[in-house]
Structure 1
Amino acid sequence: MLLDSAGLSWSESWSRIRCLGLSSEFPEEEVVVPGLRVLVTGATGLLGRAVCREFQNNGWLVIGTGYKRARPRLLRCDLTDEDAVRGLLHEYKPDVIVHCAAERRPDVVERHTEAAVNLNVHATSTLAKEAAACGAFFLYISTDYVFDGRNPPYGEDDSPNPLNVYGRSKLEGERETLRHCPGAVVLRVPVLFGEVESVTESAVTSLWLKVQEATESCTLDHCQQRFPTDARDVAAVCRKLSERARQDPSIRGIFHFSAKEQMTKYEMAVAIAQAFNLPSNHLIPLTEQPAASALRPVNSRLNCSRLELLNLSVEPRPFTSAITDCLWPFTPDKRWRQTVFH
């Protein structure tokens, strides 16, 4: 029997499907919303939480899965357990599956390759097979790291050439997705940030710690070009793709979505400092490739015209306003927001 993390059987908790515990904006009373059903894997993560919110706010019945970090009202499921995944989809019968769960830290993937491949490739393969079997639309989140960064911008039909194990695992996940579920969508996105529970949850928001170290100089990469993208915007694209694909079977294959502002980590940190009126002269640009266990592409800019031509994109939030939204809860005195915004 499938149990959620509160110990309820799935049949007992079905009528109370919703994403609880993801943020304080959700009310504590039970809510039943008529509509289509979406299953979101990795619902405890940065993107998963944003996807759950986006779908729920637009009338979908939402259930999120987690494993080590599963919370009340989230379904605990080991995605590397084929029987558990099969049972989950058989009992829930989702109309849409948004597969956000992944090991997305390149250096961690280099050190723990087997576990990462089990999640990024094998679990994706199982989900794609079962999605096809139950007739669910399957949306797989992939990465710009499938490209080597030598000849940007990259369109959906350009040949991938990942530089690290993370990129290779996500590319293999793409191939498994489209092999087992031909009607699926692969959505490639760049580095993400958003409403975080800890600033270390995203490589972008973690720069807040460097910005605050004003008493000591701090070197930051000023070589690798990135396109930091708000998870809320990605979530909106996921919903639009899902809604359109249910009406139009030609919505399938690979799509790209990215914000348009090109920034290095150094430039992101300076922008963060300026947004909060903090000093940035302790931040030192490093113009050589930083040492890391995993190689990164220098510039893997994505061409997003396919999504835009189909009117399935959204206008990305400007970096400064979006990062301010995300980091203000971590300021020493949060009351400044009431003055600025109210």
Structure 2
Amino acid sequence: MNCTVAELRIMFSPGRVQLVQEEVFPGGPRVMVTGATGLLGRAVCREFQTSGWSVVGTGYRRARPRLLRCDLTDEDSVRGLLHEYQPDVIIHCAAERRPDVVERHTEAAVNLNVHATSTLAKEAAACGTLFIYISTDYVFDGRNPPYGEDDSPNPLNVYGRSKLEGERETFRHCSGAVVLRVPVLFGEVESVTESAVTSLWLKVESAESCTLDHCQQRFPTDARDVATVCRKLAERARQDPSIRGVFHFSGKEQMTKYEMAVSIAQAFNLPSNHLIPLTEQVAGSAPRPINSQLNCSRLELLNLSVEPRPFTIAISDCLWPFTPDKRWRQTVFH
């Protein structure tokens, strides 16, 4: 049955759920994407839309036209929204993902990363909806990589613990759910500061000397590739109930922040001699795993993975709108 957003014009809780703009959604399987204003959420919405799904995205503080404004920490609002829209699949991208922010604002982060996840999983089970929860490689301590889906988590910081608790709440309420763990993401950004990877552009294009971490091994991953994996998981899981549990997806190139910055400089033919490698963790920051590489063989064996885009090509594609030629800025994705 076709559905329009106009049919969802309901205030489930004053100021908590609000229709931003009337929009018609075509027929087809329905997916709801939380955190649709964020880097991954935008990529997921676009991936499902181009594949013929009926998509509705939710946001809150950054909600914009064509999205539903919803406070995911308000249980009544979430319950009303899901029962009204009745999605076939929920992709839960919304999270506080900045480890240092989570350390400083733990209560708010836990409300979103754990309690909101618990509510969504509970309501997804009640509605018979497939629930896909986006988690992180930071559930591991980084001492014995690579990590498979069955390896024991041991997060080093509050962010990792909150996401691990979100995983547990997911399976406690929704045994048929899917958890997809991913590492640090980058992609088409509205501002280079939106991702820890694209934010390196500010260091690269500056002529001032600066230090960059050259200790923690990262596996930068394109959000567009993650979005494709989400779609493939959703399509397969709707047909095959054995597609459940934990999956890993990651880029394959191992790089420190310093090495990423040097690669960005090379991609744009810019100097990198002002970039200085730092081999000690910055004091006062949340502890992070040295190497939390993910073993992604489960997805690959089920033919649900994608070949990650090479970092240099993908990062060039994401950053060219921010080059000094102002004409490029006019076409930046938003």
| Range class of TM-score, shorter chain | over 0.9
Question: Could you say what secondary structure the match of 2:134 adopts?
Answer: strand
Q: Secondary structure at the match of 1:140?
A: strand
Q: 1:321 to 1:79 in 2, by over 3 A?
A: same
The structure-2 alpha-carbon separation of the partners of 1:292 and 1:234, relative to structure 1 and needing over 3 Å to count, comes to farther
Alignment-derived partner of residue 323 in structure 1: 315
Contact 1:5-1:70 at 8 Å conserved across structures: no
1:259 equivalent in alignment to 2:238: no
Question: What is the deviation of 1:6?
Answer: 2.6
User: Contact conserved, 2:122 with 2:174, CA < 8 A, in 1?
Assistant: yes
Match of 1:219 in 2: 211
Matched, 1:148 2:141: yes
Aligned residue type for 2:20: A
| Equivalent in the alignment of 2:97 | 104
**Partners of 2:300 and 2:143 in 1: CA distance:** 24
Structure 1 position 159, deviation (Å): 0.3
RMSD value, Cα: 1.3
Cα shift at 1:291: 2.4
Partner of 1:237: 229
Kindly state the Cα deviation for residue 289 of structure 1 after the two structures are TM-superposed: 1.8
Unaligned runs of 5+ in 1: 18-32, 338-342
Tell me if the contact between 2:21 and 2:66 (Cα under 8 Å) persists in the aligned partners.
no
Contact 2:321/2:328 (<8 A) preserved? no
- What code does the residue aligned with 1:142 have? S
Does the C-alpha gap of structure 1 residues 7 and 58 become closer, same or farther in structure 2, counting only changes over 3 Å?
Answer: closer
Using a 3 Å threshold, how does the CA distance of structure 1 residues 55 and 336 change in structure 2: closer, same or farther?
Answer: closer
Are the aligned partners of 1:50 and 1:232 in contact in 2 as well (CA < 8 Å)? yes
Count of paired positions: 315
TM-score normalised by structure 1 residue count: 0.90
1:6 and 2:20 aligned: yes
Aligned position for 2:28: 35
Q: How does 1:22-101 map to 2 (within 5 A)?
A: 33-101=26-94
Task: Please state if 1:290 is matched with 2:321.
Answer: no
Contact 2:149 2:246 in 1 (8 A): yes
Q: Deviations over 1:218-239 (max 9, x none)?
A: 1000000000000000000000
Retained in 2: the 8 A contact 1:328–1:334? no
Provide the rounded CA distance (Å) in 2 between the counterparts of 1:72 and 1:240.
27
Displaced runs of 4 or more, over 6 A: none
Q: Displacement, 1:292? A: 3.8
Separation of aligned partners in 2, 1:205 and 1:181: 35
Deviation at 1:333, TM superposition (A): 1.1
Match of 2:197 among 199, 204, 207: 204
**What is aligned with 1:158?**
151
Letter in 1 for 2:181: R
| Cα deviation, residue 311, structure 1 | 0.1
Q: What code does the residue aligned with 1:332 have?
A: P
- 1:176 and 2:157 are equivalent in the alignment: no
Deviations 1:236-258 (A, max 9, x none): 00000000000000000000000
* Percent of matched pairs sharing the same residue: 87
State the distance in 2 between where 1:161 and 1:293 align. 18
Segments of structure 2 that go 5 or more residues without pairing to the other structure are 1-9, 12-16, 330-334
Tell me, in whole angstroms, the C-alpha distance in 2 between the residues paired with 1:237 and 1:334: 34
TM-score (norm 2): 0.92
